[in-house]
Amino acid sequence: MQVKFTVYGLIALLLLLTGAGWWLVNGGASLPGESVADQGREHWEHAKLDEFKYNSNPPTSGPHDPDWIRPGIYGTPQDKYKLIHSLEHGYVVVHYNCALPISNFEFLISKVNAHEDEGDLDGDSTPSATFKADCSLAQVLADWGKKMELKKLIVQVNPTVDKPIVLVAWGRILKMDSFDEKLAEKFVKAFRNKGPEATME
């Protein structure tokens, strides 16, 4: 009888340790950003999409256009319904709003000045990547996007967001008052290629 209880006790302990180990590896480290309820992934026509009420700005899921936006750096706002489709494919989209104040402005200016000293303001950016001269944030995010290799990554201006920088993935959003490069990289690493539709882009 004693042996039976010892075996059950060891099995219970092993299960407990396995669960604790899994939690430490997968759940213990908190994921960046906030979870947003999934609103589905159907393809709709634009007229119908305009009537839909999304639960976040920018949207992180929901009905969307049958086409999607490709990776790149865009100095003009892209179609939000196509961006949702990109999220479905596992993209991360970085939205920025130059009209809002950013708390680490001096840091951004120093990054842009360092970049200008290198003499490569144009780089290999997406052809549509033209930025307002007074928006240092745009240049910093463009440089950061290139550093992140732009695989399933879109950086775009978006005057409708309520924070200077907003990162979104399928069902996830991270809003920033200042550019935290490490946190942004953590978000991309956690959610890039994690959309509900696996694609080989």
Q: Tell me: the pLDDT tens digits for 102-160?
A: 876 555 555 555 555 444 433 334 444 444 445 888 889 999 999 998 999 999 999 99
Q: Tell me: the pLDDT tens digits for 63-105?
A: 999 999 999 999 999 999 999 999 999 999 999 999 988 876 5
Q: What angle (nearest 5°) sits at the alpha carbon of residue 40, between those of residues 145 and 191?
A: 30
d(CA 165, CA 182): 14
Q: Is 95 helix (H, G, I), strand (E, B) or coil?
A: strand
Write down the pTM of the prediction.
0.76
